[in-house]
Each structure stands twice: as C-alpha cells, then as structure tokens.
Structure 1
Amino acid sequence: MKLQHYLGGLEGLDPISLETRVFVEPWEERIFGIHTAMMALSPQLDLEATPSTFNTEWTWADLRKGAEAMNPFDYFRFRYYEKWLGGISEYFVAKGYISQADLDARTAAFLSSSAALPMGGDVAVDARVRKYLMTGDDPRRERPVPPLFAVGNAVRVADPKSVGHTRLPGHLRNKVGLIDSVYPDAYTYLCDTGVDGVGRAMPVYCVKFDPEDLWPGNTETNFTFYADLFEAYLEPAATLRNL
C-alpha cells in the first residue's frame, strides 16, 4: 500500500467530499458494469461457459492494483470511477485485448462523436453475470491448520516488503495489539500478493490496538482501534497490558 492507501492519522486532508450518491454520472454505472462482467467471466470461477473472448483472471485485487500503481497526485486528482477506468484500460492493454494505439484512437473517436454507446449483449454472458451476482466468490474455506494465536494473545504486526498490492495498512506495521477474536474457518485472498504472504487460505483475526500506540499524543480517549488481519501479518509479541 502506497501513501494514498493508508491515510490513518494524517491531518490536513481537507476538503473531504461528502458525496453520498453511488453513481454521480451515467458513465460510472457503465464502468461498474464492465468490472462486474469481468469478475463474472473470470475463468477461475466454476460457472457455465459463454462465447465471450474474455479469458484471463480479473478480481478485486487487479482493480486495486491499478489504483495503487497510480502516481499519488493523480490518485487524488481523479474521481473514484476514473481510477477504475484507468485500471481496467491498463489491464486490457497489458493482456493484449487491445493495443494502446487502438484504445487511444477509439477514445478520440468517441469523444468527437455524439453517437450513443452500444447497448445489450449476449444472453449466455448476461446469465453468467446474473448468477455471479447471486452467488459471489466466497473467500471462506475449511481451516487447513489450527490458528497460531488465541484470544488475549499479544501480537506484533509484521512489516513485509510489498512492492505491489498488500492488505496490510501501513499505520499498523510494527505495532503491538491483542487478539480480540479468532474468526471461524480460514479465508483466502483474491490473489497471491507475493512476498507479503497473503493468498492461500489462513486464519483471520480481529486485533485490537491502543490508539495512543498508533498515533502518540494525537488521539481521543476512551476508545479502541480494531483491525481484521490475516495470520501472515502477525507474529508473537511480549505481553501487552490489557486494552
């Protein structure tokens, strides 16, 4: 996670948008639909075959990788679904579905025309998307091994190298907390994140932290900070006072 993805405790980030609408512009609905269709057609899912030529894996992790790879200044400059559009476009170019030159040409042609975008689609593709929306992609699995930690154990958050995507918030690295609960079963992640160890099924814990340890001298009193963390991000720590 780069700077723009772990802002916990940072000040001076105003102005903050209070927009509550899910979609502000009509094109944002289309971007969401494209992403959903890509998720549904991703070949790792055990769903009915379709005539779609989309044949490479696409998950939420791929979408997040695109946003996390952005220059931080661009990240704050673009709207939410503009970031989605950038990540999806880069993916299609990288996977060879379209060349950058062709994408640029089609974009220029669209921007210079008032023609409406095509509507409708293949019946089998639509059916698979609807089924995906109903069933989803559950990350829960049977626990392969017993959890390493129990409720009340003191743990230290690891500080793994993470050149690319990670699920570990930056402001928790090297911090010490207490296991508040152990979730049943085990949980996978959408992809293997590499050296930071997340991907395969593993126990997940709710860990509680003293905010004063996270942001010394800059917190309110009488509250506790909780975070759900994969076991790969935790290691034993010396006994910590009760939170």
Structure 2
Amino acid sequence: MTRVHDMGGRFGDGPVVPDAEGAPVFATEWHGRALAVTLAAGALGQWNIDVSRHTRELLSPKDYMRFSYYEKWISGLADLLVQTGVLTREDFEAAGAGETHPLADKKLKAEAVAGALAKGGPADRPSDVPVSFETGQAVRTLQISGNRLVEGGHTRLPIYAAGAKGHILKLHGTHVLPDSSAHGLGEAPEPLYAVVFPASELWADPEHPGDEVVLDLWQSYLEAV
C-alpha cells in the first residue's frame, strides 16, 4: 500500500495555487496558534523533527485526507504529547488543572522566540560515511521507497521518485538520516545530495515533460547507474 501522506503528482489533486501577493501569513487566527504551540512543545526537547513528521504520517487515512494542514499539525502534536508522557488524555480535558508540570522550566519564553526561530534546528553532522557520488553523476533512486531500518517507518524518499533516474546537482554535506532519527535509532548521519530529475522520468504523462524536479536525498536512497 502507498503511504497516505505521499501524494506528489497524483492525478486529480489539481494545480498548486500560490497565495496572492500580500495575503496574510495565516488564513485564520488559530493557524498561527497551532504553529506556536507546536514550536513551544518541541522546545521541551522530548522529540525531534523527524519524530514529529512521522507522527503526522501515522494519522488515520480518513483523518489525514479530511484535515487541513494545521489540523494535521495539531492532531499530530496531541498524539506526541500523550505518546511521550508529557500529557495524558485526561490532561486535555482538565483545562490546565493540576500542579506545575515537571517540564515547566523548559518552556519557551516569549522573549526567546525570535532567537529560537532564527537559530533553527540544523541537521548537519560529522559522519564517517564516505561520499559515493560526485556532481553531475547519474544515479537512480531505490525501486521501493520504504524505510530500510523500520518496516512502515519514516523516509524522505517520495514514492513518486522511487526507481527514477537523475543526476547529482550538488552535495549538501552530511546530515542526520531521518529514517533512523524518527525511530530513536540514532542520528546515523550520511551524505545528502540535491538530485535533479526530469519530469518525464517521474510521471508517465507530465504536463510539461521538460520540467525538472530537484529533491534532497540521502546517499542510502541512491545507487549509481
């Protein structure tokens, strides 16, 4: 079965329509609050970005398809808070009742938000894994895009690019491998590349066959052609 979140290039989803110039950053007020509480909860240090992405992927297919973007975020966050023991299901119904939380000292204070956003969460790490490909080299992605470490686990190789031929545009350095990091198996950093694919290699009937798609892909997703 395909992963419900892996939707790139599906027929019938319609074109990507950019927001009009000058449009508000958030369509409604609660969208901004959803982003804020997600970042604040992440600052508690109980999970990483790969874990949070995988948690959204684990939403039930019916919910995933009917939820808006930020509904997916806030639903995934609720699941994470319970899974990690930060909160209980009862806490969501208690409207903040109870004693001071053990993680209260780790809260992201308002005056620290700008600095935290500017700093971000860099994922580049030193690695002993040797670089296998060079700029311009022809490569092919693995035929199956699943996680090789955890059955049904998180991966950043989209299904529409599985088995596709492209070429290396550049090496980004060595970065945390999401397939490992999302499942508590360590950061396992390895080389990360920008890989260029012609649209005709990814889809049977692309609207613009001459277009190109650039994907950032880890070395273990690739093989030499």
Matched, 1:22 2:25: yes
Residue 175 of structure 2 is aligned to residue 187 of structure 1: yes
Q: Who is 1:12 aligned against?
A: 12
Higher gyration radius (CA)? 1
Alpha-carbon separation, structure 2, partners of 1:198 and 1:214 = 31
* Counterpart mapping for 1:1-243 below 5 A: 3-14=3-14, 21-42=24-45, 57-104=46-93, 106=95, 125-126=108-109, 129-158=113-142, 159-162=144-147, 163-183=152-172, 185-189=173-177, 192-193=181-182, 199-237=187-225
CA drift of 1:66 comes to 2.4
CA apart distance, 1:2: 5.1
**Is 221-230 or 121-130 further displaced after alignment?**
121-130
* Structure 1: distance between partners of 2:48 and 2:203: 33
Is the Cα contact below 8 Å between 1:154 and 1:178 reproduced in 2?
Answer: yes
Deviation at 1:168, TM superposition (A): 1.0
Give CA deviations for 1:186-242 in whole Å, capped at 9, x if unaligned.
Answer: 122466245xx99422111121222222112334133222211111111122xxxxx
Contact 1:4 1:75 in 2 (8 A): yes
Aligned counterparts of 1:137 and 1:125: Cα–Cα separation in 2: 15
Q: What are the ranges of 5 or more consecutive residues in structure 2 without an aligned counterpart? A: 98-103
Q: State the Cα distance separating 1:106 from its structure 2 match.
A: 4.2
Q: Compared with structure 1, are the counterparts of its residues 64 and 125 closer, same or farther at alpha carbon in structure 2 (3 Å cutoff)?
A: closer
Amino acid at match of 2:121: D
Amino acid at match of 1:97: V
Say how many residue pairs are matched.
209
Structure 1: gaps of 5 or more residues: 43-56, 110-120, 238-243
Q: TM-score, normalised by structure 1?
A: 0.71
AA matched with 2:44:
L
SS for the counterpart of 1:88 is: helix
Question: Contact conserved, 2:199 with 2:210, CA < 8 A, in 1?
Answer: no
Q: Which residue of 2 aligns with 1:241?
A: none
Change (3 A) 1:83 1:223: closer
- 1:168-193 CA-to-partner distances (Å, cap 9, x unmatched) read 1111112222222223x312246624
- By how many angstroms is 1:143 displaced? 5.0
CA distance in 2, matches of 1:9, 1:236: 25
- Cα deviation, 1:92-118, whole Å, max 9, x if unaligned, reads 2122233224424549x9xxxxxxxxx
Give the TM-score, by structure 2 length. 0.76
SS in 1 for 2:81: helix
Could you tell me how far apart the structure 1 residues matched to 2:26 and 2:218 are?
A: 32
Query: In 1, Cα distance between the equivalents of 2:134 and 2:15?
Result: 42
Letter in 1 for 2:116: Y
Do the aligned partners of residues 199 and 141 (structure 1) sit closer, same or farther apart at CA in structure 2, a change above 3 Å counting?
closer
Deviation at 1:154, TM superposition (A): 2.0
